Structure 1
């Protein structure tokens, strides 16, 4: 019943104006006894806190100062949450059902863009010869299909139980034995390792870095962007899927899904951590990336399927390439422009 209600919300409200969306959710909330006033007050507090944090970030004089505030991408609260779910990664009908379904979009998105960048094609194993780092790999839901496409994939995650689940699952498929490996570590720990070690996983070792449904859970995006640039080869690709920071993503992703219909456990997402395509592009450019494409994604909870859409108002996928002559972080030209369509798409 809840899935049908949420499906109608998404399919019926996705193209509506923000006022219409809020009005519809307000009406549904009233019928269920849900306090819309409390929701609005909560969001106002979040917006005020977000503005305060943005002001504090702007006073930091350099990227080094920004990273020194945490020096880690790991949020302890997120770590505890995913530890409790570590054994459920491969339950296709469970909490991660949407991530299983997302492979129908994100795997071809990664494959096709890598083939476009690198040009070579190996029949049956199109990604053969490429090294990919899957950041926040969880139980290996994306790591395994990339390995089956011929890539040599390293999946990393700070949750040891998730890594254990990934290793156990991949052990059942002998074709993955030489293609996929896992480590329980953070991105910054991997980035700090010296190049030339036994596994040669130091700076500039990967052809691609994938962070799918990860950045909205991180504690420090500055450190994330810096480390991604550090571990990538010049010309390497960065793939990100995440949630936009819009009124629509707040209404559907938090109010409807978590607080009203309770489809997603309360506290799964923090709207303050969402980031728009324009903001993400600006951050990546300051660390030596050039964004190649941004594409909207839409999930239908009724059919359990994802589809591409022209709007990035809720979910989106991004592909960026590390420039071969890296600029210094935060020293890109002040007049650098961003595609106007990205700015338009980021509005709800």
Structure 2
């Protein structure tokens, strides 16, 4: 069963007292043979393997002079996985139930931070006049509520079936006709890395919620986000931290024990700490404004804000002025940049 050490770690970090609900989670996991020691050992082995692969890759780059970025954010394995789930986006009790519930936090997080930046208030439509891109929009779970707040929202996703589902669902709401649109494409295609200059400097904000942990190249992602945003534009990210606790809860408990999400949904090697993400964004012309911890209760199905970022977190960053960005990076520099 879960050890007392794990319980102290879990509740101590969040300043919470064990409730009957959470105790039920630990008990259920314990009955299936969960071992915190085994989790730590497995995670340590993964870290060592990742470090060895990273060192081998760096040695290869030094000797060959090869480019370190793929110029594509899309991981083919992730593409295939979400292709199989495309028809489940709007099942609020299904595989994406946690994402539906997350709207209670992420929609106000985006709205309130944008209002702080733009200082404009439109009765009933607080985000009117703003253009937002929802990267990795899936079936439009976040795209639609942002559109209802008055923003002009473009949802993009490389899975065409997901885009078809999103378009079909939004078509049933006449209020979204003029505010929400979708396109089956990648961020780099829209930003101009692959196709001209079509998306450069067009958006007031980008939202990438539960996306970066599925991408193939975060350097390309950050570079393209800067490209499509206006100076002073906002970037909103929600993702999973790379800690022992996140491995235990997001993969062992959520996928393998409680099966809240399909097995194989997450790859711990792709998780990123807030510190690493902040360094990446700052090297690509952003200034991080805030980082806030999030926690999901699988028994109640509800999300809440927390002082700890040990598991999930939300980040808000702002694109610096063109002059400041030019002094930080250039497209040709991006080709040889390495994210450590």
TM-score, normalisation: structure 2: 0.84
What's the counterpart of residue 142 of structure 2?
A: 142
Give the counterpart of 2:266 among 264, 269, 286. 269
Where do 1:27-42 residues align within 5 Å? 31-33=31-33, 39=39, 42=42
What's the counterpart of residue 162 of structure 1?
A: 162
Whether 2:115 is the aligned partner of 1:115: answer yes
Whether 2:300 is the aligned partner of 1:303: answer yes
* Stretch deviating more after TM superposition (111-120 or 259-268): 259-268
- 8 Å CA contact retained: 2:43, 2:244: no
What's the counterpart of residue 283 of structure 1?
A: 280
- 8 Å CA contact retained: 2:206, 2:234: yes
How far, CA to CA, are the matches of 2:226 and 2:308 in structure 1? 28
- SS of residue paired to 2:11: coil
How far, CA to CA, are the matches of 1:88 and 1:26 in structure 2? 28
How far, CA to CA, are the matches of 1:32 and 1:104 in structure 2? 32
How far, CA to CA, are the matches of 1:11 and 1:143 in structure 2? 37
1:28 is displaced (CA, Å) by 7.3
1:14 is displaced (CA, Å) by 2.4
How far, CA to CA, are the matches of 2:8 and 2:143 in structure 1? 34
How far, CA to CA, are the matches of 1:37 and 1:12 in structure 2? 14
- 8 Å CA contact retained: 1:30, 1:36: no
- SS of residue paired to 1:295: strand
1:202 is displaced (CA, Å) by 1.7
- 8 Å CA contact retained: 2:29, 2:258: no
Deviation track 1:58-90 (CA, whole Å, cap 9, x = no partner) reads 6668xx9322xx221111111111011101101
Unaligned runs of 5+ in 2: 14-24, 331-340
Give the counterpart of 2:228 among 224, 227, 231. 231
How far, CA to CA, are the matches of 2:6 and 2:229 in structure 1? 37
Cα distance change on mapping 1:102 and 1:256 into 2, 3 Å:
same
- 8 Å CA contact retained: 2:104, 2:303: yes
- SS of residue paired to 1:316: strand
How far, CA to CA, are the matches of 1:143 and 1:213 in structure 2? 13
Give the counterpart of 1:312 among 301, 309, 313. 309
1:56 is displaced (CA, Å) by 5.2
TM-score, normalisation: structure 1: 0.82
What's the counterpart of residue 77 of structure 1?
A: 77
How far, CA to CA, are the matches of 2:67 and 2:112 in structure 1? 37
- 8 Å CA contact retained: 2:95, 2:260: no
- 8 Å CA contact retained: 1:294, 1:317: yes
What's the counterpart of residue 196 of structure 2?
A: 194
Deviation track 1:193-213 (CA, whole Å, cap 9, x = no partner) reads 434xxxxx5211100010000
1:45 is displaced (CA, Å) by 3.0
Number of aligned positions between the proteins: 313
How far, CA to CA, are the matches of 1:108 and 1:34 in structure 2? 36
1:27 is displaced (CA, Å) by 9.2
How far, CA to CA, are the matches of 1:257 and 1:204 in structure 2? 38
CA RMSD of aligned residues (A): 3.1
How far, CA to CA, are the matches of 1:149 and 1:29 in structure 2? 40
- 8 Å CA contact retained: 2:151, 2:179: yes
Whether 2:213 is the aligned partner of 1:211: answer no
* Stretch deviating more after TM superposition (51-60 or 213-222): 51-60
Deviation track 1:112-170 (CA, whole Å, cap 9, x = no partner) reads 10011111111111111111000000000000011111111100000000000000000
- 8 Å CA contact retained: 2:260, 2:298: no
Cα distance change on mapping 1:127 and 1:57 into 2, 3 Å:
farther
